Structure 1
């Protein structure tokens, strides 16, 4: 399918032209693989050229090989990315040691508006199995999509609103069977057009049982030996439909989707979460609307989200989030006299959020109405051999709970970066960013039990806004069969908000002495620093290819020790072979033991080796490509426990898993 614009491209600060075409990240043509640019850069740069905001785009065969039952599982081995791993149903990406609301989740460039940022047991309300591509932005992303995303962005692109007319009916259907959990997964997409109206349909259905684990459920507890992890089952359904009117002037379209997700929480209590979401979106682009403007884009979305946390099948806490978001983006034509080219716009968001007790006890989070208004400006220019970009964002956030402890925050953010191609095929870059984040609703107003995490959360309505200062340096080789890149970064955050687990415990009514450990939201000065390196060989050609990588990240608080749930240092390597019809790969990731614990953490995480493999064969028929594939994950059947998981002591990742599947593309 043609992509008129990759929706996260604006956030990459280089994205100001609306037209770019791609069928996949890589396509096969006359026996050769050609790289297709998937980000709408004015210089038509590929993913590897984006030094100022290092990004990763998963698409095509690479995405299909890595897709899992959650976004965290799908992305957990990407450079600088780990996962929260709260069972098979809920695993959220963690970027450079930042988690929760500091990592913004988008679908087609608009907020998912779920509550996955509140707690690791809440699933992201977006499905990777029907995604055309998944885009990762590592580093501050305050300017265009919100000052709160100081850790980064993940954007799931499913193109429910068509941006180009298909000359004939196209689509794909895929089915998978997995051994580790008796899983069954079927997904599909369909695109077509009637006259000047583009149409889209997609859907996904997944059923999995409790997954198998290598040996012990609880670390160093021989009595916990078992074959399967209890309450790790999932049942998910997702359907979406969209249409748009497309002409030479641009397009305008609507989409609607419905998601249901029922999954287990593998704690001793055996909780389940019943998640439901209805989503409606509008998107339009008008080319050359006024003198001096290249394009005008208007987007709006309404989301009605609910989930219930079930204790023995009975609702304990009811979460609700109703959200309306709007965006206007205006891209101006190049100002020749100044050499400027950029975009400016406004964004609004209006939400009603609550986490209420279903049993008459204290509410976890009271009903809170939040409004956000923001304006942003990003510009790009060249000066001699240097390419520059800079941007500003102003944002006002107002949070008003029923308790009338209203808080208002004025937030300012800015960024400036430069890229220096100092010789052919080599580039160096640097960015400096300043971002402010308003405390989330739960950080301000929590005051009740959270069954899935067994914590009694207590917010602080007097919390101050976070202030982040970030610097990043990059160096890379961008041409030839052998390519590489190195990134180093440091992020200093004043008033960093974190949940401190106390020794005190309460029952579900707030009385002392129960099973819920008290979690207080506090603030301190924090530092996160790290580095990433990657080297690839022949990533877009036939024959043999390879990759080696390493990443490390460390976060700590002034006078208060390490940040909790910090990722382990990793190294890895991969080798593959590609022909027009056959494709195979083998990859290995080694994670070191993680003993840098927060003051209230009690157990270290052992090292592990994860080995995955895949092989596929594509049979090309007249109007149909049939791909038969086998993917093996955790071939060594290792006991893998992620340092970033709250359940690392009691819930290992799945054991050896072989996935058999077939995909039909037409």
Structure 2
């Protein structure tokens, strides 16, 4: 990473604010409690796992429709992005179907196989978001290989008077607006929570910079590759609108409590692609999506002497409609045709868990889980209709000694995937993706974990974990066979894939003396049978190419050309991901506070001695806050300057998603280092009434820096988002 002396000097200077004037007014940092254990809440520094969370005012300052963007400054967490509306959390180099996104501890299903398939959750409606880094298969099964993001709704407000908040936000870059409301009330036995959120954004804007001089297809390497973007200023087809709502009901008695929650999330989104007709200049191409997710959760806790019985049922309906070449505003004209992808997932998750009383020094939870998932392809050709059946038994135990906290667990999973051969699946059979010999796969895998925290002194502690995790191949990875419009690629599954098996170890040194908190973690995650989508080197005729007559349906070429898109197929290797995370927070005094997060990560394909794809660039994040004195009606003022330094990163080669742009006349797959600055301000506005008014203002990308992040899926066409002024007003009542 190349940074000039001024940038480095400013970073160092901001990292060490003067504390002379307020040396006698020091305060302590806030203790954070998390729910990383199924039986107890613990402070972050006490649990063996590496856990971070965001809630309260810190969450309000970061509010976004993109879950990945909100979490991207946590150590070990990055954002796989596609514009302002789409961001997937990347935990220690893993994302998608290796990172499990939970809703109140329950599984979600948002068809996570696509790099631009975002979690179907509105973060605004959550009270707290927790991130657990490292395999969590014992508690959450497959898809928790890299870690867990738990999105937690407000707790049931038993015995509380009616209260709530109203929120309004504006973002200048893409004219994005947000309106939200959350309310709750309860008596001794009954409780009710409700929430609603509406977010709408236009096309986002990037800084004006030099553009590619000859943006045409270049089979054979002529014209010469050009890493400059195709689009600057306003980026077409990046607009969206999202609506979400939830309701929760609670009932409690002396014997326990029952909760019923229902949420709905609907979004219309456009994604940008490019096309070239008859070898002419690349032009923008829209890929519209209409997404909907409905989720019902019924859960109970029943006290039975010293036992706590916890049955639950989650019902999820997830709909994905997508066009390859039309924006969402007009894509309905193709509905029902082969050019219109229409997928529906209906899922039931049943769980019966029981917390048992102490057995010796240990208390814990035993449980059984059953999942039934039905995926139905209503039109289109990307991934077939199929059923997934899962069963699991697990055990989790915990012992808390004077200096030790010990946790261990074990789990066994049965996992079956079956794709029928008839109906809309005939396309995949005829294409040779699967047949009667491999359309059903069974997996049976055990996983386990052992973790402990040892408190060396009152201030120092040491934590370590060893975990064996697993992930069964998804329907998409096994049986895909069609054009994926959102990423402009023809993707093919592999029915012979084996389950991924991971062995993760990490060791963490922690220090907390009240004014300073420090965590240094080193980890290694060895994954056998690591699944990835590799560019095969071939190109297929896209549906847009077929419609324009540039190519025919069965065209397969080894060279790019008009109407052609890259072909990718699921393959496996053995992978090794290792890294170091360093996090430091220090409260200098009553006025100043600083934070530092550093991530170094390396991912390697062990079998072929090359880098793994989609591994984030090494990065450093510095945050300095100044707590100003009250001034007239402005109370609890906070000014924050953030600096993020990101290293350069080379594409892993042909099997890296979007790697083709390193050889094209537009865009890039490999990225340069950059420095990004954000300025934030927040204050509470005093009023005459009981309500509290909170003001949040930010200037993101303060200097309008032209840059491209390695995990930005638009890096082949354009730059990352330019300067954005963000204004948020929240009224608590």
Q: TM-score, normalised by structure 1?
A: 0.89
Residue 497 of structure 1 corresponds to 531
Residue 302 of structure 2 corresponds to 286
Residue 142 of structure 1 corresponds to 137
Residue 251 of structure 2 corresponds to 245
How far 1:581 sits from its partner (Å)?
A: 2.3
**Greater Cα offset, 640-649 or 610-619:** 640-649
* Cα separation, 1, equivalents of 2:211 and 2:71: 25
Residue 636 of structure 1 corresponds to 703
* Cα separation, 2, equivalents of 1:348 and 1:86: 34
**Greater Cα offset, 456-465 or 220-229:** 220-229
Residue 287 of structure 2 corresponds to 271
CA deviation profile, 1:264-296 (whole Å, cap 9, x unmatched)? 112222111111122211121123x1x441x22
Q: Would you say the 8 A contact 1:380–1:387 is kept in 2?
A: yes
Residue 123 of structure 2 corresponds to 128
Residue 59 of structure 1 corresponds to 55
Which of 370, 376, 396 pairs up with 1:348? 370
Q: Go from structure 1 to structure 2 and tell me whether the alpha carbon gap of 1:244 and 1:552 turns closer, same or farther (over 3 Å shift).
A: same
1:524 aligns with 2:573: yes
Q: Go from structure 1 to structure 2 and tell me whether the alpha carbon gap of 1:324 and 1:239 turns closer, same or farther (over 3 Å shift).
A: same
Q: Go from structure 1 to structure 2 and tell me whether the alpha carbon gap of 1:652 and 1:248 turns closer, same or farther (over 3 Å shift).
A: farther
CA RMSD between the two structures: 2.1
Q: Go from structure 1 to structure 2 and tell me whether the alpha carbon gap of 1:218 and 1:141 turns closer, same or farther (over 3 Å shift).
A: farther
Q: Go from structure 1 to structure 2 and tell me whether the alpha carbon gap of 1:510 and 1:139 turns closer, same or farther (over 3 Å shift).
A: farther
**Greater Cα offset, 39-48 or 404-413:** 39-48
SS in 1 for 2:385: strand
CA deviation profile, 1:357-392 (whole Å, cap 9, x unmatched)? 44xxxx211100101111110111256743321100
Q: Would you say the 8 A contact 1:163–1:251 is kept in 2?
A: no
Residue 331 of structure 1 corresponds to 355
CA deviation profile, 1:173-197 (whole Å, cap 9, x unmatched)? 1100110011110111100125621
Residue 16 of structure 1 corresponds to none
1:537 aligns with 2:586: yes
SS in 1 for 2:478: helix
* Cα separation, 2, equivalents of 1:242 and 1:128: 16
Residue 214 of structure 1 corresponds to 207
1:552 aligns with 2:586: no
1:297 aligns with 2:310: yes
* Cα separation, 1, equivalents of 2:384 and 2:229: 41
**Greater Cα offset, 33-42 or 208-217:** 33-42
* Cα separation, 2, equivalents of 1:355 and 1:174: 38
Residue 685 of structure 2 corresponds to 619
Residue 199 of structure 1 corresponds to 192
Q: Would you say the 8 A contact 1:567–1:643 is kept in 2?
A: yes
Q: Would you say the 8 A contact 1:71–1:92 is kept in 2?
A: yes
How far 1:544 sits from its partner (Å)?
A: 1.2
Which of 503, 512, 520 pairs up with 2:556? 512
* Cα separation, 1, equivalents of 2:122 and 2:540: 36
Q: Can you give the 5+ residue segments of structure 1 that lack an aligned partner in the other structure?
A: 1-30
* Cα separation, 2, equivalents of 1:599 and 1:63: 39
Residue 147 of structure 2 corresponds to 152
Q: Would you say the 8 A contact 1:570–1:592 is kept in 2?
A: yes
Q: Would you say the 8 A contact 2:162–2:186 is kept in 1?
A: yes
Which of 676, 697, 714 pairs up with 1:610? 676
Q: Would you say the 8 A contact 1:296–1:330 is kept in 2?
A: yes
CA deviation profile, 1:243-270 (whole Å, cap 9, x unmatched)? 1112333211212222210111122221
Q: Would you say the 8 A contact 2:535–2:654 is kept in 1?
A: no
How far 1:89 sits from its partner (Å)?
A: 2.4
SS in 2 for 1:595: coil
* Cα separation, 2, equivalents of 1:217 and 1:503: 30
Which of 434, 445, 449 pairs up with 1:415? 449
1:589 aligns with 2:640: no
1:93 aligns with 2:89: yes
* Cα separation, 1, equivalents of 2:211 and 2:414: 46
**Greater Cα offset, 598-607 or 609-618:** 598-607
Q: Would you say the 8 A contact 1:217–1:651 is kept in 2?
A: no
How far 1:633 sits from its partner (Å)?
A: 1.0
1:59-78 equivalence runs, <5 A: 59-78=55-74
1:467 aligns with 2:501: yes
**Greater Cα offset, 648-657 or 37-46:** 37-46
Q: Would you say the 8 A contact 1:216–1:224 is kept in 2?
A: no
1:400 aligns with 2:418: yes
How far 1:48 sits from its partner (Å)?
A: 3.0
Q: Which of structures 1 and 2 has the bigger CA Rg?
A: 2
Residue 653 of structure 2 corresponds to 598
* Cα separation, 1, equivalents of 2:158 and 2:169: 30
SS in 2 for 1:267: strand
Q: Go from structure 1 to structure 2 and tell me whether the alpha carbon gap of 1:643 and 1:222 turns closer, same or farther (over 3 Å shift).
A: closer
Residue 369 of structure 1 corresponds to 387
* Cα separation, 2, equivalents of 1:259 and 1:135: 20
Q: Go from structure 1 to structure 2 and tell me whether the alpha carbon gap of 1:128 and 1:566 turns closer, same or farther (over 3 Å shift).
A: same
SS in 2 for 1:165: coil
How far 1:355 sits from its partner (Å)?
A: 4.6
* Cα separation, 1, equivalents of 2:210 and 2:94: 27
CA deviation profile, 1:99-145 (whole Å, cap 9, x unmatched)? 11000111111122111x21022221111122111110100110111
**Alignment: residue pair count:** 622
* Cα separation, 1, equivalents of 2:231 and 2:499: 46
CA deviation profile, 1:602-628 (whole Å, cap 9, x unmatched)? 331111111112112212444210112
* Cα separation, 1, equivalents of 2:210 and 2:125: 32
**Greater Cα offset, 223-232 or 528-537:** 223-232
Q: Would you say the 8 A contact 2:157–2:192 is kept in 1?
A: no
SS in 2 for 1:64: helix
Q: Go from structure 1 to structure 2 and tell me whether the alpha carbon gap of 1:593 and 1:223 turns closer, same or farther (over 3 Å shift).
A: closer
How far 1:88 sits from its partner (Å)?
A: 2.3
Q: Which has the higher contact order (CA 8 A, sep 6+)?
A: 2
**Greater Cα offset, 272-281 or 36-45:** 36-45
* Cα separation, 1, equivalents of 2:116 and 2:189: 43
1:228 aligns with 2:234: yes
1:178 aligns with 2:178: no
* Cα separation, 2, equivalents of 1:605 and 1:230: 22
* Cα separation, 2, equivalents of 1:164 and 1:89: 31
Q: Would you say the 8 A contact 1:218–1:651 is kept in 2?
A: no
**Greater Cα offset, 247-256 or 33-42:** 33-42
